[in-house]
Amino acid sequence: EKLLKKRKKQWFEKFHWSFSSENRLILAGRDAGSNEELVKNYMKSGDLYFHPEFQGSPHCIIKTEKNFATTEEKIEAAIFVASFSKAWEAKISSLDVYSVLPEQVSKKAPQGESMGKGAFMIYGKREWLKKTPLHLAIGVQKIDEEFAVVSGAESSIKKNSLFCFRIIQGSVEKNETAK
C-alpha cells in the first residue's frame, strides 16, 4: 500500500478559491473576517471585485493585471461567488451579481452610518451579470506537481482538471455533499 504525502497548502487556500478558464486566481471570503481580510489585504488595484445582490454573500476577486478578465472568466467568478452565498441554502437557483473596480469598494459609510466587519460600500457604476446560476463543479487539478481537489464554475473546472463532476442544488446540504 502506497502512502501519499500531504500536500502543502498555498496561501490562498484560507479562502474559497478556484482558477478561471484562463488560469487566473479567483478568491472569495468564507466569513465576515475573511471577507474583510480578502478585500483589505489581498485585493489590488489591477483586480476585479464581484458580489451577489444577496445578503449573506461572500466578497470575491479575480487576481488580474489592468482590471481585465474575459467575459467567460467574469461569468465563472459570478457563478463561484453566487454558489458560495446563503442563496444556495435558501434553494434560490440564480442571483444577480455585479462587478466593479477595486477603487469603487470602500469602508467609508454614508454620514451617520457605520460599516460592520466584512461589510463594504460600493460607489459608482456596476457591471451586472444578471440571473447567474448557482451550481458548482468539482475536479482534481495538478498544482505545482501535486494534486488538489478544486471547485468552481463548470467551464473552468473542466478546462483545468483531470476530471469533473457538477453539483446542483437538491435535498442534501452543501456541507454534507462536501464530506
pLDDT for 8 equals: 83
**CA-based nearest residue to 127, from 168, 104, 97, 82:** 97
Task: Decide: 106 and 126 in contact? Cβ < 8 Å.
Answer: no
The answer for residues whose C-beta is within 8 angstroms of residue 6's C-beta and 6 or more apart is none
Q: pLDDT at residue 83 above 80?
A: yes
- Taking the mean position of all CA atoms in its chain, how far away is CA 20? 10
Q: pLDDT at residue 113 above 90?
A: no
Choice between 114 and 83, residue whose per-residue pLDDT is larger = 83
Three-state secondary-structure class, residue 12? helix
Average pLDDT over residues 145-163: 93
Lowest mean pLDDT among 9-18, 88-97, 106-115: 106-115
Q: pLDDT at residue 114 above 90?
A: no
Buried b (16+ CB within 10 A) or exposed e, 146-162: eebebbbbbbbbebbbe
Tens-digit pLDDT profile for residues 57-80? 999 999 999 999 999 999 999 999
Q: pLDDT at residue 46 above 70?
A: yes
Percent of the chain with pLDDT over 70: 94
pLDDT for 174 equals: 63
Three-state secondary-structure class, residue 89? coil
C-alpha cell at position 114: 457605520
C-alpha cell at position 152: 468552481
pTM, entire model: 0.92
Q: pLDDT at residue 136 above 90?
A: yes
